[in-house]
Amino acid sequence: MASERFGKRCLLTLGAAAALALAPGCGLLQRSERAQNVEEENPPPPLVASSRARTAPEPPRVASSESSDDDGAETPSRIDWDTFTDPSRRGTEPAPQTVAARPKPGAAGREGANPTLKAASELFERAAAEQEAGAFQKASELWHRFLDQYVGLPEYEQASYNSAFCLFSLGRADEAVEPLKHVILTSNDAALTNDARILLAESLIQGKKNDEALATTYDVLPNRAAEDAAGIERNTNAVGTGGSATEPSLAQKIRLYTIRGRIFAAFGRDEEAHSALEKAKLLLLHSKKGQLSQKDMRFLSANYAWRQLEVQALTCKQRVTVPQRLSEAEFLAYADAYYGCAEPARHIYCTVIASASEQVKGQAQSTYRNLVEGPLELRDHLPP
């Protein structure tokens, strides 16, 4: 009878917590944001999900994580946003980790009487169209054909990047690493090289290679003091040389800071994680009119919220330790503490669900599900 009561109490506790976390309030939030979008010509980005988060004090600034040269709300005038927003190069629907590039202008106009160039251009356009439609498996096959048949064409590095993007989107991040390293080492397109480094960092995170991923972010946005403090050796950890890196665009900076936040959280360095996320938020909030399109703003805001969710999940798993002895009292105390820590994640999750980025939603759903189901991993270890 006692064990039956214990089991029921545990299930009730977990069920109540999960029901609270998964309550259908997100649909109401989504509808209200849609109404605001009709009423407001330029709606603010959904950076944070609750007023409590908006008024929270700024996390302590950690000197070893970032430099003053690339701080917060600065938006240098030297940033060339055309390389990101030009529909001829960056028109593909953004995904959580990167923005896939379209064929370069003039790629289809060079074929003339050359049947090889014409066939290459047609294959490139087909692959780009499939990728833009979200048919990543088909696009991946077409990019593979292009790379096999047309070595040496100017679009080869772009095709290598797009192929890696599709592999990443298919959950095959380990296969994306080598094509991305090829792009980084061979491309003369600075924007493409930075995009490749960012996607490489994402791929390395998926492979649990956080040290190398962090070093890769510093290749795009260098900070020598922070690199030295982190023990990063550029000759062994990173691809290429950070000294030759080109100033990243505003969107690339935002993505880099959110990636660093996630990596620092995995290392248990909470202050640095929140500091990096805060910088991403400030760049979004203080971006000048015209620097970010509404589409880009929605994607970057949703991506920022998803990274917040990841940081929250990692923080709770590190802060709330699993009891060594699963007595009734200890287990219930653990469940209460864990779900108390995870409670803000629901509001963050609703922010992502309210966005228009389907792929960010998919990433957030997976992160949120793992967060909510965390204590359920203990059910096989409950006493009889």
* pLDDT band at residue 288 using 50, 70 and 90 as cut-offs: confident
* pLDDT band at residue 18 using 50, 70 and 90 as cut-offs: low
- 3-class DSSP state of 36: helix
pLDDT tens by residue, 322-338: 887 777 788 888 889 99
Domains defined along the chain, listed by start: 1-77+249-384 (no CATH), 82-246 (1.25.40.10)
Separation CA 299–CA 45 (nearest Å)? 9
pLDDT tens by residue, 193-228: 999 999 999 999 999 999 999 999 998 887 655 544
* pLDDT band at residue 110 using 50, 70 and 90 as cut-offs: low
> Contact 38/363 with Cβ under 8 angstroms?
no
Residue 179 half-sphere exposure toward CB, CA atoms < 13 A: 27
Single-letter amino acid code for the residue at 361:
K
* pLDDT band at residue 68 using 50, 70 and 90 as cut-offs: very low
Q: Mean of the pLDDT values across residues 366-382?
A: 81
Question: Model pTM greater than 0.75?
Answer: no
| Nearest in space to 173 (alpha carbons), one of 201, 203, 198 | 203
| Nearest in space to 294 (alpha carbons), one of 9, 2, 41, 87 | 41
Q: Mean of the pLDDT values across residues 294-323?
A: 89
What mean pLDDT, rounded, does the chain reach?
Answer: 73
Separation CA 143–CA 138 (nearest Å)? 9
What is residue 77's predicted lDDT score, i.e. its pLDDT? 31
pLDDT tens by residue, 170-191: 989 999 999 999 999 999 899 9
Query: 31 vs 378, which has greater pLDDT?
Result: 378
What is residue 143's predicted lDDT score, i.e. its pLDDT? 97
Q: Mean of the pLDDT values across residues 364-375?
A: 88
Separation CA 307–CA 342 (nearest Å)? 14
DSSP H stretches of helix in 105-189: 115-132, 136-149, 156-169, 173-186
What is residue 156's predicted lDDT score, i.e. its pLDDT? 94
What is residue 294's predicted lDDT score, i.e. its pLDDT? 83
- 3-class DSSP state of 227: helix
> Contact 248/220 with Cβ under 8 angstroms?
yes
- Between CA 165 and CA 173, with CA 169 as vertex, the angle to 5 degrees is 75
